[in-house]
Amino acid sequence: MSQENNRQEFLVFTLGPRRAFAITTLKVREIVTTRQFNQIPGSHPSVVGTMPLRGHTLTVIDLANAIGMASDECKQVVVCEVQERLYGLLVTGIDTIHYCNSDDVASMPSRLGDTSYSSGVIRRDNDLVQVLDLERILNETVGLNARQDNDNFVLDDTTLAEIRGQRILICDDSRFARRQLANVLEQHGIDYHSAPNGRAALERLQEQAAAGEPIQILVSDIEMPELDGYQLATTVRSEACLKETYIILHTSLNSDVCRRYTHNSGADEGLCKFDPEALLAAIARGSHH
């Protein structure tokens, strides 16, 4: 399931009465039929319970309920991997695998703000299919950002001063993920620029370079609308005024996929979300680049 070379693949499924949504196939491990779930007392209302799957215990989430829709007779569980953990997403039915180019996926209008659980929209024939922001959904239901509680990591003054002297751009289509990144930087007094997708990030990179203040460190997600992180990294490496940028790919995909994309795109590092210590250490290495 490759998304390289401007191709993206999405699993399209239905919630409720034939309303279509999608997630990238890079996060999908398999699809299983529903079965009995073990209840979790005191869990979020959208969590229907857990289920065993080949040595793993998956937390299963009623996806319709999690995004504010009425629950329906769900028949299948989409097993997905996010931030190196497996989760089950209870859906009404599976529609298709949809193949498209990055520029066929549009970002969600910024005016929707926190009201939307989607990070993009796929144009499909005469239909629009929303791409769900799984990181936000999982954080609200099961507390995805648990590893962000590590507040004991302290940068030495010299390294912190070096990082604060860098021009940093963070790029992620998930508002939740951008806030995760921003919180870590702000807690350490580090200034940064922000972009909601690869296209906006590339424009900011080019604008800063033209103004004589080039971005020195780029922290980018991989799977994004309009221009994904793989394309962004390869474009940055191909443009003379940008090629010195230190590129950190920062993704919720598994480590094997992350390594492949990092190597093939020419990025300097690849990190699996979300470890503040690893992120700051990578930025520190970039400041010495």
Per-residue pLDDT tens listing for the chain (289 residues) = 344 556 789 999 999 877 899 999 999 999 999 778 999 999 999 999 999 998 889 999 999 999 999 877 878 999 999 988 899 999 999 999 999 887 788 887 766 556 679 988 998 877 889 999 999 999 999 987 544 444 556 778 888 999 999 999 999 998 888 998 999 999 999 999 999 999 999 999 999 999 999 999 999 999 888 888 999 999 999 999 999 999 999 998 888 889 999 999 999 999 988 888 899 999 999 998 7
Residue 85 CA to its chain's centroid (Å): 14
| CA gap 175, 117 in Å, rounded | 9
* pLDDT score at 18: 76
Report helix, strand or coil for 46. coil
Sign of CA dihedral 23, 28, 31, 34: negative
Tell me the pairing of strands 19-24 and 269-272: unpaired
Domains of the chain: 7-142 (2.40.50.180), 146-287 (3.40.50.2300)
Q: How far apart are CA 185 and CA 172, in angstroms?
A: 15
Q: Which residue has the tokens 């094997």?
A: 256
pLDDT at 114: 60
What is the structure's pLDDT at 166? Answer: 95
41-61 burial: b if 16+ Cβ within 10 Å, else e: eeebebbbbbbebeeeebbbb
Looking at residue 148, what is its pLDDT? 45
Question: What is the pLDDT at residue 1?
Answer: 39
